[in-house]
Amino acid sequence: MNYQLALTESEKRLRDIELALNESSIVVITDNKGTIQFANDKFCKISKYSQKEIIGSKHNIINSGHHDLNFFKEMWRTISNGIVWRGEIKNKAKDGSYYWVHTTIVPYLAGKGEPYQYIAIRHDITKRKQYEEQIELMAYYDSLTSLPNRNLLNKWVMERPLKKEDIISVLFLDLDRFKSINDNFGHDTGDLVLKEVARRLRNCLRKSDFISRQGGDEFIIILDDMYSKQDSISVATKISNQLALPYRINNNNVITSTSIGISMGTIRDDSCICSDFIETLIKHADNAMYHAKKQGGNTHCFNTPYQNHQLERYYQIEQEIKKALGQEQLSIVYQPLINLNSTEVIGVEALLRWNNPRLGKVSPLEFIPLLEEFGLIIPVSKWILKTVCNQLRIWRNNGVLLEKIAINISPIQFRDHMFAEDLKQILEEAQIEPSFLELEITEGTLLNITESTRTLKELKNLGVRISIDDFGTGYSSLSYLKQLPIDSLKIDKSFIDELDVDGKIIVNTIVNMGRNLNFTIIAEGIEKKEQLQYLKGLDCHEGQGYYWSKPLPSEDIAGIYHNSVIYRPKILKIE
Ligand code: C2E
Ligand code: MG
Ligand code: MG
CATH at 401: 3.20.20.450
Instruction: Answer whether 525 contacts ligand 1 (Cβ < 6 A).
Output: yes
The rounded distance, in Å, linking the Cα atoms of 568 and 562 is: 10
Ion ligand 3, residue ranges at CB < 5 A: 469-470
Contact 147, 198 (CB under 8 A): yes
In a domain, residue 38? The reply is yes
CATH at 51: 3.30.450.20
- How many whole angstroms from 335 Cα to the centroid of ligand 3? 12
If you ran DSSP here, which 8-state letter would residue 547 be given?
T
- How many whole angstroms from 393 Cα to the centroid of ligand 2? 21
- How many whole angstroms from 183 Cα to the centroid of ligand 1? 38
Instruction: Answer whether 363 contacts ligand 1 (Cβ < 6 A).
Output: yes
Confidence grade of residue 228 (pLDDT, cut at 50, 70, 90): confident
Beta bridge partners of 90: 100
Contact 348, 544 (CB under 8 A): no
Whether residue 334 is found in the same domain as residue 464 = yes
Confidence grade of residue 566 (pLDDT, cut at 50, 70, 90): very low
Instruction: Answer whether 365 contacts ligand 1 (Cβ < 6 A).
Output: yes
Out of 325, 333, 353, 368, give the residue to mutate to test ligand 1, the one with the largest number of ligand atoms within 8 Å of its CB: 368
In a domain, residue 309? The reply is no
Atom of ligand 1 nearest to the CA of 384: 41
* Ligand closest in space to the Cα of 364: 1
Q: Which residue, of 247, 280, 303, is where some domain finishes?
A: 303
Instruction: Answer whether 410 contacts ligand 1 (Cβ < 6 A).
Output: yes
Domain of 426 in residue numbering reads as 317-572
Instruction: Answer whether 527 contacts ligand 1 (Cβ < 6 A).
Output: yes
- How many whole angstroms from 490 Cα to the centroid of ligand 2? 8
The rounded distance, in Å, linking the Cα atoms of 333 and 353 is: 7
Kindly report whether the global pTM for this prediction surpasses the value 0.75: no
Residue 572's pLDDT is 36
Whether residue 271 is found in the same domain as residue 400 = no
Provide the number of structural domains found in the chain: 3
Task: Report the mean per-residue pLDDT for the chain.
Answer: 87
User: Which of 364, 381, 371, 485 is closest to 423 using CA atoms?
Assistant: 381
Q: Which residue type is seen at 282?
A: I
Residue 544's pLDDT is 96
In a domain, residue 310? The reply is no
Whether residue 19 is found in the same domain as residue 94 = yes
Whether residue 98 is found in the same domain as residue 217 = no
Instruction: Answer whether 408 contacts ligand 1 (Cβ < 6 A).
Output: yes
Query: For 279-317, how does the pLDDT look when each residue is reduced to its tens digit (9 = 90+)?
Result: 888 988 998 999 899 888 899 998 876 666 666 787 788
CATH at 201: 3.30.70.270
